[in-house]
Chains A and B, each alone.
Chain A
């Protein structure tokens, strides 16, 4: 063993191995050492912190310099390996570098298990409403009336307000007022003995249920008299949205609402949205699977090596189609949906296009592998009977590919149902479209109802498709 080999590895890790013909090993050692050094250099350079950037834990910490011990040890190991091939055990650098990657990775991922437990009270805020999914509600007769109030008062006082909707009439002692001022409202035409809720509507249309002054955890609930009349005082709440000039007079509203139980149950408003969303999701998945399968079919033949290897031109087509399929396949349909939402606009069509495109790419690849795997023997035998091209495809190719194509398509349908539930989060229609809005509104009762609906649909689809595939196998 000439001394130059370990010497070369001392100068550049892996060089000795490269020179002695152990190419893969040499390149791995070089790559690993460079990666480790690069990682240490990155962890040592301080982060350029502007107000918007999130700090990366321990980045710029000079203590990271100690990590140098790992590449130095590997460097030494590599000289040993160069001097005595196949003696130096490979697990030493593997263990060293894995440890370093793991520790740094733990920090960069900001893994902090105690947080899992320390925020348990916040979890309850979400979990408690989720235990009461908003899908159906007791049947009730809803009645409401409202009156307009300008906050704060404009220079010219507005005309006396007397508004009535249906049979409920509301009169206030002042048609305008500043936040914190007290108003007296008189109402007539309410249903006797049914409690009345007071709801304030902000200038941008948000509703706030007014709470008791002495106990803000409880909503206000007033009892009308036997004639359906009610007179009560309230303090104008601060409903001015952030960023709006509070001195500018804005139209706001006071609502009185009554809900009289009728007995029995009905679909709640959100329950109706969930049904609509699920319906859209299933339709979307069905269309995307059908169109995607039809689209995948021709591509799969172009991406099958055994059919396209014939001459230079078809080989180029094969490589191009295959590359495109691989690229598109690796993009999540959620990301593709963002593009289609830009092109088409919000709604199920954008979601369907995204899932379709992803299906074409994924099934195109799978189908082409099926075609590549077919037995050329039967095709040759059918050809030998004097069959024409179409007959050869019908009797020699299709029987070999159709069962696998069908199984893959059913499996894809399962995946597409799941993709279609989430595609709405980026505006692609379906249940996800409602779900993301409820999450943003912190309406966890609706969120949990949507979760349950998704669960049920996905379970049913999985079951059906598993049974179908079983029967085909």
Chain B
């Protein structure tokens, strides 16, 4: 179980990205975070694995205080949390296989990994992870030779290499067209259902929220303005969360 308690984030330039954010995520949930661009979704997700330092507040994960961890302990927490990004964030010039193997870095020794030496067990599980996302034959391709949807699948395979208990996905489909969006989210849904991996995912479109979320929280200007089931978000609620821009977002929906 993940508990976020009174989380605040103020950037050095004074921007208040998160204000007193509190919520809980039970194991096995598919939690979707919605909110306008700039509402603090990325900041919130990055606070959970401490890519961004929270200014104040606590994050407890299975009883461990994530906010108090540092050094090896922090890396030990991070390696159990897979992360997926809007821009895929693959190392473009490296091979697909190397990108996937990088997901193991938190588990392997420094010297071997610096030399680029990987155990046959790690290699085998990298191939299995690629098979799982249907890209085994692309293992030796350079990452930037793949299409956007394929790159995001490689990123999922990389996250799988971490044996994650939790996956953070920051707008994983915002750079993809609607058909590909569903294929990517179905992979996440499958992991969520079959492997019982908790997923926290930020999304933009209401139909995707309704289709995949088991629970939703909404952010507005860094504050939680809604927590509940996806069905509870009707048009009125939606307009409340998205304000004047609601029409725009819905236009994007029908596209």
Q: Offer 22 A-B interface pairs, CB within 8 angstroms, sorted by A.
A: A378-B90, A380-B51, A380-B85, A381-B155, A383-B51, A383-B78, A384-B49, A384-B78, A385-B105, A385-B158, A386-B75, A386-B80, A386-B106, A387-B75, A390-B114, A391-B105, A391-B110, A391-B113, A391-B114, A394-B113, A395-B94, A400-B92
A388 proximal to B (CB < 8 A): yes
A403 proximal to B (CB < 8 A): yes
Do the beta carbons of B83 and A381 come within 8 Å of each other?
yes
Q: Which residues of B contact A403 (CB under 8 A)?
A: 93
Q: Produce 1/0 per residue, B79-120, CB < 8 A to A.
A: 111110101111111100010001111110010011000000
Do the beta carbons of B110 and A388 come within 8 Å of each other?
yes
Chain B's closest residue to A403 (CB) is: B93
Chain B 165-220 interface residues, beta-carbon cutoff 8 Å to A: none
Min Cβ gap B42→A in Å is: 11
Q: Which residues of B contact A391 (CB under 8 A)?
A: 105, 110, 113-114
B19 proximal to A (CB < 8 A): no
Q: Which residues of B contact A385 (CB under 8 A)?
A: 78-79, 83, 102-106, 158, 161-162
Q: Produce 1/0 per residue, A448-469, CB < 8 A to B.
A: 0000000000000000000000
Chain B's closest residue to A381 (CB) is: B89
- Contact A377 B87, CB 8 Å, known A386-B79, A386-B162: yes
Q: Produce 1/0 per residue, A383-407, CB < 8 A to B.
A: 1111110110011100110010000
Q: Which residues of B contact A399 (CB under 8 A)?
A: 91, 93-94, 98
B243 proximal to A (CB < 8 A): no
Q: How many residues of B contact A (CB 8 A)?
A: 34
Of B51, B76, B104, B114, which contacts A384 at CB under 8 A? B51
Q: Whole-angstrom distance between the alpha carbons of A381 and B151 in the complex?
A: 13
Min Cβ gap A448→B in Å is: 47
Chain B 39-57 interface residues, beta-carbon cutoff 8 Å to A: 49, 51
Q: How many residues of A contact B (CB 8 A)?
A: 20
A178 proximal to B (CB < 8 A): no
* A interface list, Cβ under 8 A from B: 375, 377-378, 380-388, 390-391, 394-396, 399-400, 403
Q: Which residues of A contact B75 (CB under 8 A)?
A: 386-388
Q: Which residues of A contact B94 (CB under 8 A)?
A: 395, 399
Q: Whole-angstrom distance between the alpha carbons of A377 and B151 in the complex?
A: 13
Q: Whole-angstrom distance between the alpha carbons of A386 and B113 in the complex?
A: 13
Chain A's closest residue to B93 (CB) is: A399
Q: Whole-angstrom distance between the alpha carbons of A472 and B89 in the complex?
A: 23
Min Cβ gap A172→B in Å is: 79
Q: Which residues of A contact B155 (CB under 8 A)?
A: 381
- Contact A394 B106, CB 8 Å, known A380-B85, A400-B93: no
* B interface list, Cβ under 8 A from A: 49, 51, 75-83, 85, 87-94, 98, 102-107, 110, 113-114, 155, 158, 161-162
Do the beta carbons of A381 and B85 come within 8 Å of each other?
yes
Q: Which residues of A contact B162 (CB under 8 A)?
A: 385-386
Q: What does DSSP make chain A's interface, helix, strand, loop or mixed?
A: helix
Q: Whole-angstrom distance between the alpha carbons of A377 and B87 in the complex?
A: 8
Q: Which residues of B contact A388 (CB under 8 A)?
A: 75, 105, 110
Chain B's closest residue to A391 (CB) is: B105
Q: Which residues of B contact A395 (CB under 8 A)?
A: 91, 94, 98, 102, 105, 113
Chain B's closest residue to A310 (CB) is: B12
Q: Whole-angstrom distance between the alpha carbons of A155 and B104 in the complex?
A: 98
Q: Which residues of A contact B79 (CB under 8 A)?
A: 385-386
Q: Whole-angstrom distance between the alpha carbons of A382 and B155 in the complex?
A: 11
Q: Which residues of B contact A384 (CB under 8 A)?
A: 49, 51, 78, 81-83
The 8 closest A-B pairs by CB, nearest first: A386-B106, A386-B79, A377-B89, A387-B105, A381-B89, A386-B78, A384-B83, A386-B75
Q: Which residues of A contact B105 (CB under 8 A)?
A: 382, 385-388, 391, 395
Min Cβ gap B226→A in Å is: 27
Q: Which of A375, A382, A396 has the most CB of B within 10 A?
A: A382
Q: Whole-angstrom distance between the alpha carbons of A394 and B91 in the complex?
A: 11
- Contact A380 B89, CB 8 Å, known A390-B110, A390-B114, A399-B94: yes
Chain B's closest residue to A397 (CB) is: B91
Do the beta carbons of B91 and A378 come within 8 Å of each other?
yes
Do the beta carbons of A377 and B78 come within 8 Å of each other?
no
Q: Which residues of B contact A380 (CB under 8 A)?
A: 51, 85, 89
Q: Whole-angstrom distance between the alpha carbons of A375 and B155 in the complex?
A: 16
Q: Which residues of A contact B102 (CB under 8 A)?
A: 381-382, 385, 387, 395
